[in-house]
């Protein structure tokens, strides 16, 4: 008997719907939670997918395909010592992609 895995994927909000739709289309159930973090404190979505061991690679390939890394320009505030005010300047940051954890599940119960 193959073991059960829990895949925890943190994806950019802009990619989450595409990832969930494709996983559902392929027969995987997904729990979706709002989260935030990272350099920009931007919105992320944390996805939790319970899957048999043989389904792990399929789920990972969907996440990789639908979670694209891209560059965005954002405004960053900087304190100016001379004027005691804030200055805003654009910076280019990398967003998107996914951070994924695959964890062994000791027990799975559904009521």
Q: Are 104 and 21 in contact (CB under 8 A)?
A: no
Average pLDDT over residues 26-41: 82
Average pLDDT over residues 13-25: 95
Given pLDDT bands bounded at 50, 70 and 90, which one contains residue 36?
confident
Concatenating the DSSP letter of every residue in 52-97 gives EGGGHHHHHHHHHHH--EEEEEEEEEEEETTTTEEEEEEEEEEEE-
d(CA 66, CA 101): 17
Domains and CATH numbers, the chain: 4-68+96-104 (3.30.70.120)
pTM, entire model: 0.75
What are 55-91's pLDDT values in tens digits?
999 999 999 999 987 676 666 665 555 556 666 777 7
d(CA 111, CA 37): 33
Tokens matching residue 88: 């805003």
Q: What is the pLDDT of residue 77?
A: 63
């Amino acid at each position: 008997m193959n073991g059960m895995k829990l895949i925890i994927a943190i994806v950019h909000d802009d990619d989450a719907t595409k990832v969930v739709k494709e996983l559902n289309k392929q027969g995987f159930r997904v729990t979706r939670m709002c989260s935030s973090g990272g350099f920009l404190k931007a919105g992320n979505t944390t996805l939790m997918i319970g899957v048999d061991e043989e389904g792990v690679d399929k789920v990972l390939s969907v996440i990789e395909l639908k979670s694209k890394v891209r560059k965005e320009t954002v405004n960053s505030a900087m304190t100016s010592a001379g004027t005691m005010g804030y200055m805003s300047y654009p910076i280019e940051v990398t967003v998107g992609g996914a951070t994924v954890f695959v964890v062994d599940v000791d027990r799975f119960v559904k009521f």
